[in-house]
Amino acid sequence: MKLGFLTACLPDRSLPEIAAWAAEHAYEALEVAAWPDLGARPFTATHLDAAGFTDREADATRTLFDRHGLTLSSLAFYDNNLHPDPDERRAVNEHVAACIDAAALVGCPTVGTFVGRHPGQSVAENLAEAEKVFAPLVDRAGEKGVKLIIENCVMEGWHPDGYPGNLAYSPELWEWMFSIGLYLNYDPSHLVWMGIDPVEALRPYVDRIPHAQAKDIQLFPEKRNRYGWPGKAVVREDPFDVGWWRYRVPGLGDVDWATVVDTLYEGGFDGVLSVEHEDPVWGGTEDKVHTGLEVAHRTLRPLIVA
């Protein structure tokens, strides 16, 4: 197992700058943000231009990672592959395909995305549609030796009423994903607020998890008593603000990281555990983001066998 982080937390830094900082601070891998240019959208960045990626850029990227002794663990493009607008959906699907091609070119083993959801359709209708949408992407990935991984993020802000906007939030849905050739990018934080034990949910599926993310979560049960599980309903200015929990860097929330890492080891996981930094306390400035990454490293590094 290696310890890395997702580069999206440093959107204004170049990949060479991030790689140098990561190596200097004893990280071993990077999950590289590969969104297209979407403007100022939170938690997105473009550190690798998948749509315009060439053999020359692949060589330069490999040289950069080799120079710093880093592993390129995954290309990250987390967007709605079932977007209700046909043009938006097509653009997302096509960029996932571009990420698969870029990953194959540079020798990266995985590409991460979301299933997504059409909020105007039932879950059953969405799953039937997803099987058609993902079939060519799974085939393309298989042909190129790349695994297409889905993060179990709930993406509640994509649904007008705060219900799950990414149909990958439970083991039941993971089994459906596996049946169509997708893999899981396991993140325990989302399971905690869904009321799912992140360790018991993890244990049976480690062999379908080639990559994992490390994000923590801090719960405020007294606020849940006011809003209920779906969160704020009357006044919700930020669609992702449910009002009774917040993400934290590992070590500052409610996830039992020693047990999570031990369960990954017990199941034979030998991939990258990648810190996904979305902590509002240790965010807002680059210095704070760096501090948050250092806190995460101090929490997780002692748990990972050298």
Rounded CA-CA distance 180/166 in Å is 16
| pLDDT tens profile 215-259 | 999 999 999 999 999 999 999 999 999 999 999 999 999 999 999
Rounded average pLDDT over 148-164: 95
| Contact status, residue 89 vs residue 118, Cβ threshold 8 Å | no
pLDDT at 174 over 90: yes
**pLDDT value at residue 95:** 98
Average pLDDT over the chain reads 97
Residue in 43, 71, 39 with CA at minimum distance from that of residue 276: 43
* pTM score of the predicted model: 0.96
| pLDDT tens profile 90-127 | 999 999 999 999 999 999 999 999 999 999 999 999 99
Distance of CA 29 to the CA centre of its chain: 15
Amino acid occupying residue 260: V
Residue 47, domain CATH: 3.20.20.150
**pLDDT value at residue 298:** 98
| pLDDT tens profile 249-275 | 999 999 999 999 999 999 999 999 999
Residue range(s) defining the domain that contains residue 174: 2-303
Rounded CA-CA distance 156/231 in Å is 10
List, as one string, the DSSP characters of 2-61: EEEEEGGG-TTS-HHHHHHHHHHTT--EEEEEB----SS-TT--BSS-GGG--HHHHHHH
Domain count, the chain: 1
**pLDDT value at residue 157:** 93
Amino acid occupying residue 117: R
**pLDDT value at residue 72:** 98
Rounded CA-CA distance 65/107 in Å is 12
H helices, E strands: number in the chain: 10, 10
**pLDDT value at residue 22:** 98
Instruction: Kindly indicate the confidence band of residue 43, based on its pLDDT and cuts at 50, 70 and 90.
Output: confident
**pLDDT value at residue 40:** 59
Token readout for 263 is: 């369960």
Rounded CA-CA distance 99/75 in Å is 7
pLDDT at 37 over 90: no
8-state DSSP, 205: G
Rounded average pLDDT over 62-90: 98
Token readout for 198 is: 């992140």
Rounded average pLDDT over 19-26: 98
